[in-house]
Amino acid sequence: MTFRSRSSDHGPAHGDDGYASSRDTHEHWLTIHEACAMLGVDQSTLRRWSDAGKVPVFRTPGGHRRYAEADLQSLVGAGSRRTDRPRVIRQELTDRSFSGFEEGFWQGARARRWFRAFSPGKHDELRLLGRRLIDLAVRFASTSSPDSTDRSSFLDEGRQIGEQYGTSSARAGLTATEAVEAFLYFRSPVVRSVIGLIEEQGLAAKRAARVFVDIGQFMDQVLLSMVSAHEEASQATGFNMPHQASTADHSSLGEV
């Protein structure tokens, strides 16, 4: 369902169903550019999701799309909140990580063979997993106690996502090297975000080191799970035979 509004271009004011008007004074509205940065997708993908009713969207009289931040946050995944570390740092790190997936990033991804090996529908599925993975990584690093049950839970879910990546990559005909290359490509914006936050926030050396190490540890474990699942899927089903999947074979899939 697509929601429409009768408002100025700055944000919804009154909707035909009363939904927008009941939320206006309490909501933070985002432009499509801001929404894409938050979700880590390009504009064509977000438009497709909105038109399909997967993401609530409001339109201004000028035809501009506006998204409620709370709606988008629910897609990222909510979890238990901790108060023993400043929430603002965690939220900023999450926001920075999502903002790293801008149009230039996606243009570079589309040029890779491993990107073209997946259908548009599969890309949507993997992006949802990717956004959840970033959220888990930040929560993992933001949990104070190394022995926390939450940390173990975050890591277990991250490994499960890694396994899904590995199995999907093998079934798409990617080699283990290509699967790892894809993972590292998508991990790089997260790493850059951590470094940028540490520099700008002037975090104490001990704390900065821990955040960086924790994010790296989390992602390394996910990567190991991905490689293991890729190997198992390749051996069990005979995927990944030499020259099985050429660039030409996937050219018909097109780009997202």
Strands (E), the chain: 5-6, 14-15, 29-31, 58-59, 65-68
pLDDT score, position 96: 67
Q: What is the spatial distance between Cα 214 and Cα 158, in angstroms, rounded to a whole number? A: 13
What CA–CA distances, in Å, run from 81 to 12, 142, 201, 231? 30, 10, 21, 36
Residue 246 and residue 173 in contact, taking contact as beta carbons nearer than 8 Å = no
CATH number for 83-253 (one of 2.30.30, 2.60.120, 1.10.490, 1.10.3470): it is 1.10.490
pLDDT score, position 17: 41
Residue 209's closest CA among 222, 188, 193, 195? 195
pLDDT score, position 95: 72
Average pLDDT by stretches of 10, the chain with 256 residues: 40 45 64 80 78 85 87 62 45 69 84 93 89 87 74 93 95 95 90 75 71 90 97 77 41 35
Residue 99 and residue 42 in contact, taking contact as beta carbons nearer than 8 Å = no
pLDDT score, position 76: 61
CATH 3.40.50.720 assigned to 5-74: no
Q: What is the spatial distance between Cα 182 and Cα 125, in angstroms, rounded to a whole number? A: 15
pTM: 0.57
pLDDT score, position 41: 65
Residue 138 tokens read as: 């930040």
Neighbours of 39 (CB within 10 A): 24
Domain boundaries, the chain: 5-74, 83-253
Which residues are 15's β-sheet partners? 5
